[in-house]
Structure 1
Amino acid sequence: MSDNKEKVLETATKLFAELGFEKTSMALICKEAKVSKGLVYHHFESKKSILIEIFTSSTHKMIESNVNINDTIEPKGELKQLINNVFYQLENDKLFFQFNLNIMFQPSTRSLLEAHIKERADILFKSVKRIFDKISLDRSEILTYTLLAEIDGIALNYLSVFDDYPLQMIKAELLNKYNKIKK
């Protein structure tokens, strides 16, 4: 990928996360990225195509970090690794999570990305359920929904509600909770 295209994607991600998709114009993306409109339109058909590329890229990033868990270790170890990865991402890539939260809560972007959002959710659900299937097959579906909802709630509170959020304490509590699951 060219440096300019990457610069446009990084700038658009930041602006979409901070201002939202609707309030971010192509002109603002060009200005902040310090590139011409012609260059942007050379790489992207529209602001929507930028959004789709960012979302697709963030999905691949999420999958690489959380789906490709080391499945040669015992299932509770896989689950621990998954939870640690999520919290690592939360702490080290706030922009990534802020972008994703904004996308989910904006009706216009949610409708533009509906198929992509469903595909991502399905991939994440299946990867987490695969782990829970090994731990507690009869409860794996509800445990999967519960963990995913907890992670979403934690991300929301960490990024937008509380200033001094005890992220590490919450991670420890979550790890402890899921370590106690019995078959």
Structure 2
Amino acid sequence: MSNKKNKVIEAATKLFAEKGFENTSMANICLEANVSKGLVYHHFKSKESILIEIFTNVTDKMIEMNAKSKSSQEPKLQLVQLIETIFYQLECDKTFFQLNLNIMFQPTTRQILKEQIEKRASILLNSVKNIFDQISLEKSTLLSYVFIAEIDGISLNYLTVFDEYPLDMIKQELINKYIHF
């Protein structure tokens, strides 16, 4: 991917996260990326295509990360590794997680990304369920939904509700919960 295209994607991600998709114009993206409209339209048909590319790229990274994290470790250790990875990403890439929240709460973006959101949700659920299958086949689907809901709730609180959110302590508490499960 070209450097200028990357600049457009980075600028759009930042603006979509901060202002929302609907409140971000192509002119805003060009200004933030310090590129011309012609360059943006050379790489992207529309603002929607930028959003789809951002979301697809991140989903591809999730798939890649999931493939790397699969191991022959005991399932509880796989859960710990997954929790560590999620919390690390949450701290390191706050803008992306804020973008995800904006996407989920805006009907327009949910509709634009419907297919990609469903694909990502399926990948995440299956990945978590594979771990819980090894722990408890009987309740693995339910446990997977609960685990994902916990992560979503933690992310929501960390990103939007509390200024002094004890993320490290919550991560440790979640690890303790699942290691002693």
Q: What TM-score comes out, normalization by structure 1 length?
A: 0.96
Q: Which residue of 1 aligns with 2:134?
A: 134
Separation in 2, partners of 1:87, 1:116: 23
Aligned AA for 2:68? N
SS at match of 1:72: coil
Could you tell me how far 1:85 is from its partner in structure 2?
0.3
Alpha carbons 1:30, 1:36 under 8 Å: kept:
yes
Shift of 1:27: 0.5
- Aligned mates of 1:66, 1:144 — CA distance in 2: 15
Matches within 5 A, 1:9-158: 9-66=9-66, 68-158=68-158
In the alignment, structure 1 segments of 5+ residues that lack a partner are: none
Number of residues of Structure 1 aligned to a counterpart in Structure 2? 181
Structure 2: where are the runs of 5+ without partners?
Answer: none
One-letter identity of the residue aligned with 2:85:
N
Q: Distance in 2 between matches of 1:59 and 1:82?
A: 16
Residue type of the alignment partner of 2:55: F
Identity across the alignment (%):
66
Aligned pair in 2 of structure 1 residues 90, 15: CA closer, same or farther (>3 Å)? same
| Structure 1 residue ranges (4+ consecutive) displaced by more than 3 angstroms after TM superposition | none
Equivalent position of 1:172 in the other structure = 172
1:180 Cα offset (Å): 1.9
Deviation at 1:66, TM superposition (A): 4.0
Is the 1:103–1:109 Cα contact (8 Å) retained in structure 2?
yes
C-alpha offsets along residues 118-160 of structure 1, whole Å, 9 cap, x if unaligned? Answer: 0100010000000000011111111100000000000000001
Preserved contact between residue 66 and residue 85 of structure 1 (Cα < 8 Å): no
In the alignment, residue 89 of structure 2 is paired with which amino acid?
Answer: Q
Taking only aligned residues, the RMSD between alpha carbons, in angstroms, comes to: 0.9
Kindly provide the CA deviation profile for residues 102-125 of structure 1, in whole angstroms up to 9, marking residues without a partner as x: 111111000111111001000100
Distance 1:166 1:106, change over 3 A: same
